[in-house]
Amino acid sequence: MEKIKELLQQSLNIDFIAATLSNPREKDGLKKVKVRPILKKGVLLFQCEEHQNNQVFHENCDAAQAVSVRIYGKVSPDADGDKNSKIHSACE
């Protein structure tokens, strides 16, 4: 999980396209997290979309909040906790 956290810290910038973390080992609770950049009043934010049971929750965060609280804090700290992780950047 530390590798995912470091990759997100480096990638969350204006060139970032999207990230999807899904299919966790533990099936209860959070099922998927999607992150995408948005510009709100000229400020770069990241919309975190959390799929939990049959509900979807959205929150707009800055890069630090998106990594530390919304993504890293919600997903199991096990490095292999997610079977599917996709991160897309315009720099690829």
Residue 13's alpha-carbon distances to 2, 63, 66, 78, in angstroms, are 19, 8, 12, 25
Q: What is the pLDDT of residues 41-82, one digit of tens each?
A: 999 999 989 888 888 999 998 888 887 755 654 544 443 444
> Strands, E, within 1-92: which ranges?
16-24, 30-40, 43-52, 55-61, 82-89
Beta-ladder partners of 40: 43
Residue 88 confidence (pLDDT):
47
User: Of 90 and 13, which is predicted with more confidence?
Assistant: 13
Residue 80 confidence (pLDDT):
42
Copy the structure tokens of residue 74: 């919600």
Checking if the pLDDT of 33 tops 70, the result is yes
Q: pTM of the prediction?
A: 0.68
Checking if the pLDDT of 92 tops 60, the result is no
Candidates 29, 34, 75, 81; CA nearest to 55 is 29
Taking the mean position of all CA atoms in its chain, how far away is CA 16?
12
Q: What is the mean pLDDT of the chain?
A: 75
Checking if the pLDDT of 31 tops 80, the result is yes
